Amino acid sequence: MKELPKIVAETDVGKEVKVKIWRNKREITKEIILGRLETSEDFKVSENKTPSLQTDRIEDLKITVRSLNKEDIKKYLPHREHFLFVDKVIEINKNKEIHARKYIHEDEYSLKGHFPNNPIFPGVIIIEALGQASGILGFTLMDKTPEEGSIYVLAGVDKVRFRKRVRPGDNIDLYSKVISEKRGIWKFDCRAELDNELICTATILCADRKAK
């Protein structure tokens, strides 16, 4: 009988989740799903209190990332203030999707001129935030970081639609899903929501290239 791949996922609560796929006692794939576990409820806890999950079917693996904070995000994006527009990652799941969040503060640099006495968060920055969320997703899937000499650059934006204004005090939910990848060009289906209402949709292309 052919031995099926065995998936082993284990981590300490608050640490990164690491997933390894084994076949015939040989590691064939290593995938690191970035993030921090808030609880170990979804995992079998062994004697050493290390949450773990084992299954013989890849489709049974249901590990999601929870609560990637701002400092963690900086490990996977080269952007810094005042051009870092992802404040938190809520989830990265096995379907190659990310859910991130951007908090709109009253002292946002872009709101000083857009517009005086009528602050509206610029749509172009919402697109940039979606691109940055997509970059985090791409780095996660490739198990790479900018420190290794790789950078995600915006290669194209298609089918952009804006539906609602965003103002100081709002929290934008950013969603991105991989559509395809070919020769380092990644295509993402993206959307932004405010209070569960759609405010922006776009198809974003990012290119994985050498930093210099």
**pLDDT attached to residue 25:** 41
Per-residue pLDDT of 172-209, as tens digits, reads 999 999 999 998 899 999 999 999 999 999 999 999 88
Residues 122-141 have a mean pLDDT of: 94
- For residue 134, the surrounding DSSP H or E stretch is helix 123-142
Asked whether residue 16 carries a pLDDT value surpassing 80, the answer given is no
pLDDT at 136: 92
Residue 117's DSSP bridge partners are none
Options 79, 99, 105, 114, the catalytic residue: 114
CA angle, 198 as apex, 88 and 108 as ends, to 5°? 45
pTM over 0.85: no
Is the pLDDT reported for residue 20 higher than 60?
A: no
pLDDT band for 65, please (50, 70, 90 cuts).
Answer: low
169 pLDDT exceeds 50? yes
Mean confidence (pLDDT) of the chain: 77
Q: If we measure between CA atoms, which residue out of 101, 94, 102 comes closest to residue 178?
A: 94
The whole-angstrom separation of Cα 76 and Cα 205 is: 18
Give the per-residue pLDDT at 140. 83
Find which of 70-74, 77-81, 194-198 is predicted with most confidence, using mean pLDDT: 194-198
The rounded distance, in Å, linking the Cα atoms of 6 and 57 is 7
Query: What's the rounded mean pLDDT across residues 70-82?
Result: 90
Residue 46 clears pLDDT 70, i.e. is over it: no
Question: Does 34 score more than 80 pLDDT?
Answer: no
Nearest to 172, CA basis, from 122, 118, 135, 116: 122
**Active site includes 114?**
yes
E strands, 104-196, are 150-162, 171-182, 185-194
Q: Partners of 63 in the beta sheet? A: none
What does the DSSP 8-state code read for residue 202? E
Q: Is the pLDDT of residue 110 over 90?
A: yes
- Predicted pLDDT at 97: 93
